[in-house]
């Protein structure tokens, strides 16, 4: 999980993808979105608009290493320079396979919101 967050912050999409199982499923319950597959999930993160940075504040894992949770803080600046940065806290739940690859990620953000336009090609709504 530490490699996942470090790669995301560094925008090292090859390293990020290397932490994921081929069939990884990413879910955002608040927007009712799901992304299936490593390539789509990496692309979703690569194409995310604006400038963002993550601070990992806590990671907790089970003894077997098959489940973990993280609390993070994100600073997000919009695409327009005059937009103010937003500080957001999030909680993330991860599942792993026997090789330590991430098979599932579920993100919970502080408030419900409608997903931004432009990612319909990567997600399914439920």
**Entry field: residues in the chain:** 126
pLDDT, tens digit (0-9, with 9 covering 90-100), for 50-90? 788 999 999 999 999 899 999 999 888 865 555 566 788 99
- pLDDT for residue 80: 52
pLDDT, tens digit (0-9, with 9 covering 90-100), for 14-59? 999 999 999 999 999 988 999 999 999 999 999 988 788 999 999 9
CATH number given to 2-125: 3.10.450.50
What is the band of 94 on the pLDDT scale with cuts at 50, 70, 90? Answer: very high
What is the domain partition of the chain in residue ranges?
2-125
Tell me the pTM. 0.84
Side-chain-side CA neighbours of residue 21 (13 Å): 18
Side-chain-side CA neighbours of residue 74 (13 Å): 19
The residue with greater pLDDT, 109 or 7, is 7
């Amino acid at each position: 999980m530490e490699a996942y967050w470090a790669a995301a912050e560094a925008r090292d999409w090859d390293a990020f993808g290397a932490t994921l199982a081929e069939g990884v499923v990413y879910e955002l319950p608040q927007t009712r979105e799901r992304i299936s597959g490593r390539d789509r999930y990496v692309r979703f993160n690569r194409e995310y608009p604006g400038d963002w940075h993550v601070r990992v504040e806590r990671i907790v894992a089970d003894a077997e290493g098959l489940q973990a949770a993280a609390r993070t803080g994100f600073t997000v600046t919009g695409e327009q320079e005059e937009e103010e940065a937003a500080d957001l806290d999030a909680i993330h739940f991860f599942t792993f396979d026997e090789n330590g690859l991430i098979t599932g990620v579920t993100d919970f953000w502080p408030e419900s919101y409608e997903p931004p336009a432009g990612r319909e090609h990567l997600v399914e709504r439920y």
